[in-house]
Structure formats: structure tokens, C-alpha cells
Amino acid sequence: MEPTVFIQWKPSYSVGHSLIDRQHRIVIEVINELYLARRRGHQPGRLDALLKRLDQYTKAHLSFEERLLLENGYPDLPAHLELHRVMKARMAGLARLGEAMGEEIAEELFDFLKAWWLHHILEEDMKYSEYLMKE
């Protein structure tokens, strides 16, 4: 049977900050929508629109998180900023490909999105979670 959701949010993904958690859940929702839209096909403009939304939301979330970490004096901010910078650039490039992306690139895109976000939330964002809780 086909999975109904591509990435399933779990309580263990919580970084202990309600706004950040909500944003992470929205990112995952948009990726899931994009995944479903891709599978269904035949919806001109829909993939483009979702890719742009994911690109914009990714930038908005990462920038919000950066400001929060800066305001809280997070010591490992430079390394975290670099991870975000690379992701923003990569996501912008994927969004530019738009509808025209072939099957192979679409598969890579979904593998990449799942791997990046799960790793980033569970490993990288979790590092500041402990720090923010101590404050």
C-alpha cells in the first residue's frame, strides 16, 4: 500500500520551542503536499506553486531561527548559519527547475528533502534545543 504521508511528524521531533516546532511541521506539510501533487500529476502550475511555496517557507523558517539563535547568543551560530546558507541556495535552485524537472531529479529532490530536514531537525536543531532550554 502507498504511504499516505511522505514524512510523518513525530513528537520526538520537537525541539522544545513551540513556534519552531510549528514551522517545522509546516515545512513537512508542504513537502508532503508537493510529494502528493507529484504523484497525482496533471495539475498544471501546481508543482511550480508548491515548489515556490516550499522555497519561500524554507527561507522564512531558517531566517526566523537564525534571528532567534542570534538573540539568544547561541555559541555555535556560525556553523548553523552555514548549514542554512547551503540549504537556502540548494532549495532556490530546485525551485527554479520548476515543473520542468524530470523523474530522476524529482526522486532525488524528495530523497534530499526528507534526508536534509530529518537530519537537520533531529541532529542540528536539537543542539540548540538544549541550549535554549538552559536559558
Q: Which residues make up the interface to Fe ion (CB under 5 A)?
A: 65, 125
Name which of 30 and 47 has its Cβ closer to Fe ion.
Answer: 30
Task: Using DSSP, state whether 72 is helix, strand or coil.
Answer: coil
The minimum distance between CB 75 and Fe ion, in angstroms, equals 15
Name which of 104 and 123 has its Cβ closer to Fe ion.
Answer: 123
List Cα–Cα distances, 75 to 19, 21, 72, 78, 127, in angstroms.
21, 21, 9, 8, 11
The minimum distance between CB 17 and Fe ion, in angstroms, equals 9
The minimum distance between CB 99 and Fe ion, in angstroms, equals 28
Q: Are the beta carbons of 59 and 21 closer than 8 angstroms? A: no
Radius of gyration over every alpha carbon of the chain, rounded to an integer in angstroms: 15
Name which of 55 and 65 has its Cβ closer to Fe ion.
Answer: 65
Name which of 20 and 109 has its Cβ closer to Fe ion.
Answer: 20
The minimum distance between CB 102 and Fe ion, in angstroms, equals 29
d(CA 111, CA 118): 11
